[in-house]
């Protein structure tokens, strides 16, 4: 067949260059993994304890609805009247 007659040759520098790129990628990956582990350790150490916060509905964005107990907030599709103390276009609420 025609395939048997043809001889396939590898490009001379493609394989070594690819091996170099893979080696550099592995080196970078090891460094990134070490940095990630270090960063995770720092985050776990410096995370503050949970605290209870009471949200102030008078400061809520017009589309944010603060629960009756002031412990949670949710986005509403309908906009209520904007508060004079609110944040305008920023979806925020003070706690």
Q: What is the pLDDT of residues 23-78, one digit of tens each?
A: 888 888 888 898 888 888 777 776 677 888 999 998 888 888 999 999 999 998 87
Q: What is the pLDDT of residue 61?
A: 86
Buried b (16+ CB within 10 A) or exposed e, 58-81: ebbbbebbbeeeeeebeeeeeeee
Our count of domains for the chain comes to 2
21 and 61 part of one domain: no
Domain hosting 29: range is 2-46
73 and 93 part of one domain: yes
User: Any bridge partners for residue 65, and if so which?
Assistant: 74
């Amino acid at each position: 067949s025609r395939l048997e007659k043809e001889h396939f040759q590898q490009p001379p520098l493609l394989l070594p260059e690819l091996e170099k790129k893979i080696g550099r990628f592995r080196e970078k990956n090891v460094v990134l993994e070490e940095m990630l582990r270090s960063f995770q350790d720092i985050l776990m150490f410096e995370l503050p304890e949970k605290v209870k916060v009471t949200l102030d509905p008078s400061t809520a964005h017009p589309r944010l609805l603060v629960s009756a107990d002031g412990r949670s907030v949710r986005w509403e599709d309908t906009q209520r009247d904007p508060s004079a103390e609110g944040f305008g276009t920023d979806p925020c609420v003070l706690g």
